[in-house]
Amino acid sequence: MSIGEAIRAFFTSAGPGGMVVITVIGLAATVYFLLTRWILRGGEQNEEERRRFK
């Protein structure tokens, strides 16, 4: 199958479109989860140090 045919099949076959949707939403979910965790962990080290010196 040539590249042109493969690209054409991507757009005209039943199925690949759904995979795109799942990939986009899945990727967004992963990124948002990591960002939220990163925010919540902000300053954890400072807090630990502060407690240790108390």
Query: In the chain, what is the greatest distance between 2 CA atoms, to the nearest angstrom?
Result: 69
Residue 11 touching another protein (CB under 8 A): yes
Distances (CA, A) of 50 to 1, 34, 45: 63, 26, 9
Residue 4 touching another protein (CB under 8 A): no
Residue 30 touching another protein (CB under 8 A): no
Residue 2 touching another protein (CB under 8 A): no
For 40, the 3-state DSSP assignment is helix
Q: Which residues bind another protein (CB under 8 A)?
A: 10-22, 24-25, 28-29, 32, 35-36, 38-40, 42-44, 46-47, 49-50
